[in-house]
Structure 1
């Protein structure tokens, strides 16, 4: 009961808005201090665990991929990509929205940073779609959903975190996420084309889009494709580890920025400082979560959950359904990083008891967590989009626009649950 109380207190404080790392640490110390059989001595092993986190070679990829995404954010690559793809699909009804999805997928495979992708797409694509006469809800939903593709399409920060938390090879996670990611892109495009056909007024043919030559299209598409192939290709081929490929990706991003004539001191300063901030936040949360797990497990929380699912329930699909539903609902209120460090470790003993493949389960979690960027009231993509759009789009219009895409994400999740070969096809 004390373990459950501890869990509820943490969730309540997170929903109030108190910083995550402080919630984990404070609640852990409070419960350890006031429960005599635990005591503060339990934290004597914490420094060794923190040292293990800081020396984890897999987690080194996190700040590197963040830096790569931030450099590309300022490299003007996204703008050239969107202009090229918009021109290629300009004669197709809904083509501008389709081009946004495809550019979102390319940015996801190049950066892996959702915030950067959503902001870039909002700044560049939103004015273009509104000028073309697109329905505001469709435009905002397409941009927000396309920007979140970086959650599932590698190189994804959440896949790296899940790989570490669940002790799964990050390289295999990247390979396993390829088909689910492409499935999601395909579902987005099919929905846009069908919706545009049924309601032509929501997505007019963008006749005023600037026409560009095939050479200009290839010039815009080739650099990010080369970066994507060089980073992911070396991982998939087993030539380099994710961390080594991330380092190579940072160099590639700087080279792209140099050739686009956007490399300068201000850009380097911005990318460096933001990388330190975001990486520091993630590692502080991880340290706090480690303290939380020490006390929570000592109170018997993991044993209680394991007993409930494996003995009282005893059904693997019931466990998967409850796990996915819990993660989806929590995504309305707390961040994907918090869910990864609080909920996932609690589910691991049950997953192992049922013999569930951790690679497949990790991809299911990643697909589920992607929805947390879109679900109100705290969906980060919605905040980024609204911040850029200002008064041009109402919050209600954004909420209306993202609902179909959330449903498509849930459909993709169900399809991957039913057809596990979507994960294991290339692994």
Structure 2
């Protein structure tokens, strides 16, 4: 079969399976198997599939993913995340302190967890009800927390960057470094949005927040835990003392000790963190395995190489190619969650981006920001439903969508800034090297 026949067939069959409700991992495998059987006999394909899956499950780099997920779950099951929010909320005596505290807490949580959903659940579980009780506008409150969770994806460590690094064979450490300045810029933009919103709609933000201050011991415990874990992850990876997997392992152990001793982690919370990690990795593991089979078929028929050759032969400007890719990802992000998009599309897209002359570390940051947009865009914006689920009686999905729009605008502006000034992402990795 010709490569384009296989490409169209794979995509059509995948979309058909997804549209009838087949889970993404099984849809990927289901789309790949008919073409795999056209390459090999059934018995041979079973053996080759086993070898492919073995390679996925025993990949050393992939061990960082469950460790970072477990770390985030430990923080979420303890009171460290909520205490961080309450400290930032009650310790800053300014109008809109709860809103700014939510952004700060999401950014701080992002320094120890790479999951957007865990970030939204941990901080949002405390902050949303508190902000609604203080009479913050429900759209502003829900929008802040839905968008705030995305900071966990850009500020290292980032699970999406780990997935991207694995698929494209790029340095995960360099990707983490490249995300620092864009993460700081995005956090600042979120703060500016809240400031402007509070000036334009004064009734949406109370004049003062009457919050009870935390005991000093709990403040110290929360700040020490977040600061120490973040420092260990960042310093060990950036100085070359540890790989991302080793840094994640050490950080997970220290997180357990600190949250158990000082962060209020209970035995039931620990067990729940283990369960949630296993549930998450069960899905991700199936997705990785199915993605490997799908990628094997794609690579066998040389679809990425042929597609790259076809598009480059058209003589299109590199920025036209990039613009088409970005728009396609934004549209695709309305229907697929980021992890699925990464393993379905990146093996085909990144050779095209590389052939167009773009730096793959820089594109990794752009890609990560686009994935942040994906979790905020309906109809399948995960963070929208996570936040709405925290206060079903007071907040509708429409409220969360409207509240998220200014923050989506900030994400789009960050993408444009990265296109115009690539050094925003590349300057720090170059200095560190």
* Fold shared by both chains (TM-score > 0.5): yes
1:421 and 1:14 mapped to 2: Cα distance? 39
Q: Retained in 1: the 8 A contact 2:75–2:259?
A: yes
Between the two proteins, the alignment pairs up a number of residues equal to 424
Shift of 1:332: 0.6
Match of 2:13 in 1: 9
Q: Distance in 1 between matches of 2:121 and 2:411?
A: 21
Asked whether the 8 Å contact 2:338–2:371 carries over to 1, the reply is: yes
User: Matched residues in 2 for 1:110 and 1:318: separation?
Assistant: 36
How far, CA to CA, are the matches of 2:21 and 2:366 in structure 1? 27
Q: How big is each residue's C-alpha offset from its partner over 1:141-163, in whole Å with a ceiling of 9 and x where there is no partner? A: 00111012111111111111111
Distance in 1, Cα, partners of 2:402 & 2:11 = 33
- The match for 2:343 is 341
Q: Could you say which residue in structure 2 is the equivalent of 1:26? A: 30
Over residues 251-296 of structure 1, what are the superposed CA-to-partner deviations in whole Å (9 max), with x where a residue is unaligned? 1211221223533331222112221221121121111111112223
Answering whether residue 54 of structure 2 is matched by residue 51 of structure 1, we say yes
- For structure 2, the residue ranges without an aligned partner over 5 or more in a row are none
- The answer on whether the counterparts of 1:154 and 1:178 sit within 8 Å (CA) in structure 2 is yes
Aligned counterpart, 2:392: 390
Answer whether contact 1:95 1:205 (CA < 8 A) is retained: no
Does the 8 A contact of 1:14 with 1:334 survive in 2? no
Q: 1:353 maps to what in 2?
A: 355
Q: What is the TM-score with the length of structure 1 in the denominator?
A: 0.94
1:130 & 1:290 partners in 2: Cα distance? 45
> How much does 1:205 deviate?
2.6
Structure 1 segments unaligned to the other structure (5+ residues)? none
Which stretch shows the higher mean deviation, 39-48 or 313-322? 39-48
1:300: how far off?
Answer: 4.6
1:147-188 Cα deviation digits (max 9, x unpaired): 121111111111111110010011111111111111110110
TM-score (norm 2): 0.93
Contact 2:70/2:273 (8 A) holds in 1: yes
Alpha-carbon spacing, 1:14–1:60, altered in 2? closer, same or farther (3 Å): same
Q: Which residue of 1 aligns with 2:403?
A: 401
Show the counterpart of 1:112.
114
Question: 1: CA distance between counterparts of 2:300 and 2:16?
Answer: 21
Specify the SS of the correspondent of 2:336: coil
Q: What CA deviation, in whole Å up to 9, does each residue of 1:329-362 have, x standing for no partner?
A: 1111011111100111111221232232111111
Check 1:206–1:305 CA distance in 2 against 1; reply closer, same or farther (3 A cut).
farther
Deviations 1:364-392 (A, max 9, x none): 11110011111111111111111111111
Which residues in structure 2 correspond to 1:412-423 (within 5 Å)?
412-423=414-425
* Counterpart-to-counterpart distance in 2, 1:255 and 1:167: 33
Per-residue CA deviation, residues 214-265 of structure 1 (Å, 9 max, x unaligned), is: 8875554232111111121111121111101100111121122122353333
* Contact 1:90/1:96, CA 8 A, preserved across alignment: no
Asked if the contact 1:86/1:96 (under 8 Å) is kept, the reply is yes
**Does the Cα contact within 8 Å between 1:15 and 1:333 map onto a contact in 2?**
no
- Root-mean-square deviation (CA), in Å? 2.0
Q: Which residue of 2 aligns with 1:188?
A: 190
Q: Please identify runs of 4+ aligned residues in structure 1 that moved more than 6 A.
A: 213-216
Pick the aligned partner of 1:138 from 125, 137, 140.
140
Judge conservation of contact 2:79–2:263 (CA < 8 Å) in 1.
no
Q: CA deviation at 1:108?
A: 0.9
Deviations 1:288-327 (A, max 9, x none): 1111122233345324421332112432111111111111
Shift in alpha-carbon separation, 1:134–1:263, aligned structure 2, 3 A: closer
